[in-house]
């Protein structure tokens, strides 16, 4: 789908995300699908409940988003991308 991570982007980001393990967790290979769902919500500025069903159950994606936030995954991911020179720094995001 338009806006989803390319294979090149996923090759960089995929290994930076934690594996999802546990009795109720979905397998880590769903990380790409879930991340694309998270990016979709951010890109179109819709409520989680309106996330496109292509990405799975909205609540499952939201729960993983919150868990990653609580675990510091987003901060670590951004820090790594900055260190790799893969982000634009010093510019504000356009309105």
* pLDDT tens for each residue of 6-42: 999 999 999 899 887 665 666 666 899 999 999 999 9
Domain locations in the chain as residue ranges? 7-83
Of the candidates 4, 28, 33, the residue with the CA atom closest to the CA atom of residue 17? 28
Calculated CA dihedral for residues 93, 16, 79, 94, nearest 10 degrees: 0
pLDDT tens digits, residue range 32-70? Answer: 999 999 999 999 999 999 999 999 999 999 999 999 999
Measured in residues, the chain has a length of 95
């Amino acid at each position: 789908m338009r806006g989803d991570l390319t294979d090149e982007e996923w090759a960089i980001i995929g290994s930076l995300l934690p594996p999802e393990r546990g009795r109720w967790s979905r397998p880590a290979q769903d990380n790409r699908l879930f991340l694309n769902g998270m990016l979709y919500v951010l890109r179109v500025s819709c409520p989680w409940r309106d996330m496109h069903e292509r990405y799975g159950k909205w609540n499952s994606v939201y729960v993983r988003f919150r868990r990653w936030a609580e675990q510091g995954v987003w901060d670590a991911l951004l820090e790594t991308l900055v260190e790799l020179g893969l982000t634009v720094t010093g510019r504000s995001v356009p309105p």
